[in-house]
Amino acid sequence: MNRTQLKRSGILRMALSGSSDPLLQQEEGGSHSKETPFMLKAIQIALVVSLYWFVSITMVFLNKYLLDSPSLHLDTPLFVTFYQCAVTVVFCKGLSLLASCCPPGHLDFPSIRMDLKVSRSILPLSVIFIGMITFNNLCLKYVGVAFYNVGRSLTTVFNVILSYLLLKQTTSLYALIACGIIIGGFWLGIDQEGAEGTLSWAGIFFGILASLCVSLNAIYTKKVLPAVDGSIWRLTFYNNLNACVLFLPFMLLLGEFRTLYHFDKLGNPVFWGMMTLGGVFGFAIGYVTGLQIKFTSPLTHNVSGTAKACAQTVLAVGYYEETKSFLWWTSNMMVLGGSFAYTWVKGLEMKKTQVESIPKTDEKNETGV
């Protein structure tokens, strides 16, 4: 296997495991810790994690309102998603223009201009991206916020499956046990939702598709980044711009334009304010996710996401005044516990691989090879 193939294999492996280069992390972490006092760094991390939790949880509750609120009676999930993508495009272009007007160093945002060649090269990812955000919203539309994390909890399982199918990479026994716990919690959750009379097979179906698309999105994101010079913000711009165009025929086929025409709150500024706020949070989640990874690590980001999902479930049960059985809570704890265990196992495996590679490197340096 040549060097290019090895590099591509490494990129795919990092995409599927949700990790980055451990040596790069070590270098970045080392320099950052020398420059920043411990207490200041701890406060920064706490603020960034809190910001991520706030944006992520608020966005879920806001989307649930827009997609399934009895006071709105708006059955246009594709339009809601389309509008959020349009807001993101406007924000990206606006920040790009603002950065070009500001003195150097005041606003760090890449220059963005429309390039049809780049847009076409991003198109395969955009199709997966559309599936990911659409199925996420459709899952949220048909299931409660409390069950949302269980409904789309199979992302880790699909990561393992795709790792084997695409990379022929086997997974350790402990990681497979963690996946088994997630699957067990998923099926127990379905059983308990059915027992309580709140089960939506449509929501479950869309949740499974969303989980698959999240895994595929991670792979294709790594593959197309060179087309935008490695800039996540340029990729975000083209992804959302392509999505806006691709959504239009589907909205027409599903009759959402007709539904909007007869919508009684179409001229209500409060409705458009909520829609725009949803778009702002949709844009912000990409920023705060990157910020959390920057100040911590991909591994810590996954742990934070698991803890956030637990807090979100408790908040949803309290906010909607729901009563859940012991087994329902058990299913949630199995999914969250399995996700945490998988993240922990993968972290230990990465650390072990990193430690084992250091003596070999030192030995080669001593022999001059």
In the chain, % of residues over pLDDT 90 = 55
Q: Is the pLDDT of residue 286 over 90?
A: no
Give the mean pLDDT of 329-342. Answer: 93
Question: Tens of pLDDT along 73-122?
Answer: 899 999 999 999 999 999 999 999 998 888 877 778 888 888 999 999 99
Q: Is the pLDDT of residue 12 over 50?
A: no
Confidence (pLDDT) at 5:
47
Q: Which residues contact 292 (CB under 8 A, 6 or more apart)?
A: 48, 49, 52, 300, 301, 304
The mean of the pLDDT values for the chain is: 85
Q: Which two tokens stand for residue 18?
A: 């949700």
Which residue stretches of the chain are H helix? 3-17, 22-35, 38-68, 77-101, 116-142, 145-151, 155-167, 173-195, 201-224, 232-253, 256-261, 269-295, 298-319, 326-367
Q: Is the pLDDT of residue 361 over 60?
A: no
Q: Which residues contact 78 (CB under 8 A, 6 or more apart)?
A: 134, 247, 250, 251, 254, 256
CB < 8 Å & 24+ apart, contacts of 70-79? 72/265, 72/271, 74/259, 74/263, 74/265, 75/259, 76/251, 76/256, 76/259, 76/260, 76/263, 77/134, 77/137, 77/138, 77/141, 78/134, 78/247, 78/250, 78/251, 78/254, 78/256, 79/251, 79/256, 79/260
Give the mean pLDDT of 55-70. Answer: 93
Return the closest-CA partner of residue 291 out of 275, 304, 280. Answer: 304
* Cβ neighbours, 10 Å, residue 275: 19
**Identity of the amino acid at 213:** C
- Do the Cβ atoms of 174 and 110 come closer than 8 Å? no
Return the closest-CA partner of residue 115 out of 209, 242, 17, 262. Answer: 242
Q: Is the pLDDT of residue 213 over 50?
A: yes
Q: Is the pLDDT of residue 28 over 50?
A: no
- The DSSP 8-state label assigned to residue 72 in this structure reads T
Taking the whole predicted model, whether its pTM rises above 0.85 is answered as no
Band of residue 359 on the pLDDT scale cut at 50, 70, 90 = low
Confidence (pLDDT) at 35:
56
Band of residue 10 on the pLDDT scale cut at 50, 70, 90 = low
Confidence (pLDDT) at 36:
62
Cβ-count burial of 117 within 10 angstroms (0-12 exposed, 13-18 middle, 19+ buried)? exposed
**Identity of the amino acid at 196:** E
Rg over CA atoms, the chain = 22
* Cβ neighbours, 10 Å, residue 10: 13
Q: Is the pLDDT of residue 72 over 80?
A: yes
For the ranges 22-26, 172-176, 208-212, 272-276, the lowest mean pLDDT is seen at 22-26
